[in-house]
Structure 1
Amino acid sequence: MVSELINANPIVYEKKERQPRIAPPSVDENAAEIIDQLEIFDYLRDIKDPEHPYSLEDLKVLTEDSIEVDDEQSYIRVTFTPTVEHCSMATLIGLCLRVKLMRCLPSRYKVDIRVAPGTHATEASVNKQLNDKERVAAALENPNLVDMVDECLAPSLE
């Protein structure tokens, strides 16, 4: 029922047109593929919001500019912006981002998932949960939570 939603009428933004990705010719066949900001955004842009039939890109929860990649250091930071300051789904959204990247990226990457500063009432708590390996592992042992994550990721797995 719509009246039970935290943000019953979110603003839906126009999606940015996808640019075709052209892989650069590899000098060394054994060299690791370089991951960049656009590639990470492409992995994440179609994740469905847990409360709405829109993607995180549609709701501007995630933008290209909210992703930082340091391929040399194997470090990725994704900063997302919940649609409302008291979003009860912020931790689930962050978990979806983390799981998608765990499934797509080589294990050499350290991934840091954050709520944009000043955009959530419990920002520090959400950030702590999303970046604590033990808490993430415990969350992923909960079959109901994994089902919710898989449902949000379903459009991006097709």
Structure 2
Amino acid sequence: MASIIPKLNESLEISGFFSDRDSISNARILPFPQRAHGLSSLLTAKQISIYNGPSIIFFDQNFDSSTRVILRSQDGADANKILSQSQDALSRNMKIVHPVTLVESKEEQDEVSFLIALPVPNSISAVSLFQWDRRLQRWQPLVGEITNNYISARATQLGSFALLEDEI
């Protein structure tokens, strides 16, 4: 579970889980103050994070009490989608670093803006963060930054995210 703390300090709950190798982890997350460009910011952060795993932080979202955002692995997704994702990566001489992370909501989200961070395995030297474009059926690179063994990038759509490694 993760907690959303809106500006009125009333606590709303959202669900988040990440499954890998048949394990599910739930964790309660507390909000933390954000800074934008080194200046104090009034943004309220909503975070779902898995220990040593992926995390997402939403900014400026107007979630109501019925909004559910789910963070999980893509395991069990449509086989055709997984095949398309693998073929696209291979066509670029890249390899998907599994598991693929899925950020989804059952409710329609008009505008979203969030930071996604995925852990980078120590054994990988050339990696980038990508988001799956459902319309184009292609991995699209995100402008990422690597810090403390995580690569993070800002995203504007929910969906599938993965690290792609250059096959050298």
TM-score (norm 1): 0.31
Greater share of helix residues, 1 or 2? Answer: 1
Larger relative CO (CA 8 A, sep 6+): 1 or 2?
1
Greater share of strand residues, 1 or 2? Answer: 2
TM-score (norm 2): 0.30
